[in-house]
């Protein structure tokens, strides 16, 4: 049981982090609006940029609310089970065009088409989407990202691995922290909550998640979930 003082400290820290993360896109949005008032301003360009800032804030708020929902009701994660292959295939297919534009090759390797995981379909889709989005944002041009699914004894192993830019080794243990971004990630958009949500979902379903990576050697995120029978 978490002591009340510890809980209040955690809540205060989380609130401060949320405020900090929202302040950056808000400041950029204010700058864009002020620029729109200048003579000769390119209003269409500024509007497109402003829309991007609003979309980033919306993504952040949605992720915060979803993470709060998960923490309140852990059972929303593991009610039922899902055939994994169709969900993973759909997540990959939906991102093939974006991957091509980014110069990234997406691959899907499924050992057994009939494997089921102890997650609702929505939760498995969320995991796949967050891991793929992470690779598309940070792997870099020329990288290959492989999504694989296999059975290993009494566990289902889902892995999303790329051979791209990678991350500093000292950052790897912190990748699942809320709002944590490595140096490369700080220059791109994103809520900073994607991998934290993945970790929360997997652990709520009785599984585990780990990451391995290094500069120039890509990033490998591996999930291990209980089998369903």
Supply the pLDDT for residue 229. Answer: 61
Same domain for 176 and 83 = yes
Same domain for 222 and 151 = yes
Same domain for 133 and 26 = no
Q: For the sheet containing 155-162, what is the strand order?
A: 105-110, 144-152, 155-162, 219-226, 208-213
The residues that bridge with 157 in the sheet, in sequence order, are 150, 224
Residue 159 phi, psi dihedral angles, 5° rounding? -130, 135
Identify which of 84, 143, 80, 78 has the alpha carbon closest to the alpha carbon of residue 112.
84
111, 152 Cβ separation under 8 angstroms = no
Per-residue DSSP letter, 164: S
Domain boundary among 57, 72, 87: 72
Domain boundary among 72, 95, 116: 72
Specify whether the backbone of 88 is left (phi greater than 0), alpha (psi in -120 to 50) or beta: alpha
The residues that bridge with 148 in the sheet, in sequence order, are 109, 159
Cα–Cα dist 60/144, whole Å = 28
Three-class SS of 29-40: HHHHHHHHCCCC
Same domain for 186 and 136 = yes
Range of the domain at 137: 79-226
Supply the pLDDT for residue 168. Answer: 87
Same domain for 203 and 110 = yes
Same domain for 95 and 160 = yes
Name, in order, each residue with C-beta under 8 angstroms of 203's C-beta and a sequence gap of 6 or more: 209
Same domain for 90 and 196 = yes
Supply the CATH number for residue 166's domain. 3.30.565.10
Same domain for 109 and 64 = no
How many Cβ atoms from other residues are within 10 Å of residue 215's Cβ? 13
Same domain for 114 and 39 = no
Same domain for 87 and 66 = no
Number of domain units in the chain: 2
- Residue 98, Cα to own-chain centre: how many angstroms? 16
Same domain for 64 and 91 = no
135, 195 Cβ separation under 8 angstroms = no
Q: How far is CA 176 from CA 74, 201, 210, 222, in A?
A: 18, 12, 9, 12
148, 109 Cβ separation under 8 angstroms = yes
Supply the CATH number for residue 11's domain. 1.10.287.130
180, 194 Cβ separation under 8 angstroms = no
Domain boundary among 55, 72, 89: 72
- The length of the chain is 229
The residues that bridge with 81 in the sheet, in sequence order, are none
Supply the pLDDT for residue 14. Answer: 54
Same domain for 170 and 200 = yes
Counting as low any pLDDT under 50, the low residues of the chain are: 1-3, 6-7, 10, 185-188
């Amino acid at each position: 049981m978490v002591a009340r003082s510890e809980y209040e400290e955690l809540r205060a820290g989380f609130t401060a982090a949320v405020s900090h993360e929202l302040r950056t896109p808000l400041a950029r949005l204010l700058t864009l609006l002020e620029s729109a008032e200048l003579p000769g301003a390119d209003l269409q360009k500024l509007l497109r940029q402003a829309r991007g800032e609003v979309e980033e804030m919306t993504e952040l708020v949605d992720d915060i609310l979803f993470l709060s929902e998960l923490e309140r009701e852990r059972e929303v994660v593991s009610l039922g089970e899902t055939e994994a292959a169709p969900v993973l295939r759909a997540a990959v297919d939906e991102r093939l065009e974006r991957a091509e534009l980014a110069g990234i090759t997406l691959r899907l390797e499924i050992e057994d088409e009939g494997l089921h995981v102890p997650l609702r379909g929505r939760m498995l889709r969320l995991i796949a989407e967050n891991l793929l989005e992470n690779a598309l944002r940070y792997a870099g041009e020329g990288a290959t990202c492989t999504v694989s699914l296999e059975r290993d004894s009494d566990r289902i192993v889902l892995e999303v691995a790329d051979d791209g830019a990678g991350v500093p080794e000292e950052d790897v243990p912190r990748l699942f922290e809320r709002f944590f971004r490595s140096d490369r990630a700080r220059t791109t958009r994103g809520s900073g909550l994607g991998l934290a949500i993945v970790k929360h979902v997997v652990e709520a379903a009785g599984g585990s998640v780990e990451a391995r990576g290094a500069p120039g050697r890509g990033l490998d995120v591996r999930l291990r979930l209980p089998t369903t029978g």
